[in-house]
Amino acid sequence: MKNIFQKFQLLGWPLYSLVAGGLTTLAFAPFDLSWLVFITLAVPFYLWNKLPAKQAGISAWLYGLGLQCTGVSWIYYSLHVHGSAPMVFAALLIFLLCCYLSLYTGLAVYLVNRFLPGKAALRLMLFYPASWLVFEWLQGYVMTGFAWMQLGYTQIDLPLSGFSPVFGNHAVGGLIGVCAGAFVLLIRYYRNQKYKQVGLTVILPVLALWLAGSLLKTVSWTQEYGEPIKVSVIQGNIPQKDKWKLHMKKPTMDLYRDLSLAQKDTDLIIWPETAVPDYWYRVVPYIKQLRAEMERRDTDLLLGIFVKNENKRLLNSVLNINGEAYNKRHLVPLGEFIPLRFLIEFFNKFVKIPMSDIASGEEDQELITAAGVPVGISICFEEAFARDVIKDLPEAKLLINVSNDAWFEDSIEPHQHHAIARMRALEAGRYMIRST
């Protein structure tokens, strides 16, 4: 093993860390090479256990940088293609965001190596996974959070996802770390006299985890509620580049109305995020016309639209045609609000994203009742945060997410977003309906 590590050093641990992080993206949707994450995490685990604290922290930061740069590069479309930001400025902004997000990975490993010296088995199978779990959780909270490339999402179709309804997605990420650490220990003690002893000690707990996960996937954690309902999801297929053009307003609204009226014998119709390309107070006659038609059919209609609050600030909302509303609580940094207000003027010089400085809705909002069912609604980015979705439980019996993934064109973002939605549905034990 000493010779192997010397070869690693010769080629450069920074390069291995960066490449391992980049390859980890292949474990996520749409590539779905779920098993790959155990290898791409085992490689840096091996390095981190050998390196001093400072170098291990840098290595972990580089791993995170590779993961984030390949995993969230789709932000480029919203900034450059649709936000008109200069190419260099958009790329720089994304790189800085990735550098920031990678700090959590770096700190997770640095602190373990700095303050938790001990046997390799403890580091690899306990300290690294536990620290990873904690800092992945922090990444979803600090500065409103950006909880996207979390390792647990890679396991949605594998046995470890069975732990999600019980412990959540972060715990699944920690268990991935346990498995990766076990893999490193097996390699480390290969051809060692203690190999069989270590092998059994390591393999049995991992097998137990996978078996337990498989069994948990067979458990039905919730009970059916009410009678089945019929739902229609409407997609106008309006190109993002045309959506906010003035001459497209009426054709877009007419299209959504006509598609909705064509739905027969349905209990609930759902439009995507900001499907109505205008403010509510400007389209009141249109809304009243729809309401009258839906009432005649005894159908609920949820539509995405911008409204204004009492302070004349915009809100990204979902309205039930009967008058109920949900206002988005968790806004997208740089897309819907600027984290540091004094940066708005500077930011707006380079990026022209429509409605990029809006207000957030109240934390505690009444659930909308649609088709007789209390529903928990999330708008776009919000469903990446388990805490935002779970907040509506257990009262919410159905989850609905509306989004506008057209911002990201034909990138990997819509596929990642769908996988995240699946994880939220699994955690909550609820059906999830998506309209995007």
For the annotated catalytic residues, the residue numbers are 273, 328, 380
Rounded distance between C-alpha atoms, residue 59 and residue 391, angstroms: 36
Alpha-carbon torsion 19, 67, 131, 143, what sign?
positive
Specify the 3-state DSSP secondary structure of 301: strand
Is residue 327 within 8 Å of residue 362, measured between CB atoms?
A: yes
Q: What angle do CA 431, 276, 284 make, to 5 degrees?
A: 115
Strands in 314-320's sheet, in edge-to-edge order, are 231-233, 268-270, 300-308, 314-320, 325-327
Fill in the amino acid letter for 418: H
Secondary structure element (H or E) that encloses residue 265, with its range? none
Token pair of 155 as six digits: 């396991």
Residues 6+ apart with CB under 8 A from 354: 244
Of 312, 403, 401, 328, the closest CA to residue 360 belongs to 328
Annotate 325-386 with DSSP letters as a single string: EEE--SPPBTTTB-SSGGGHHHHHHH---TT-S-BPPPSS-PPEEETTEEEEEEEGGGGG-H
Handedness of CA 333, 336, 342, 348 (dihedral sign): positive
Judge if the upstream peptide bond of residue 394 is cis by omega within 30 degrees of 0.
yes
Do 370 and 102 touch, CB atoms closer than 8 A?
A: no
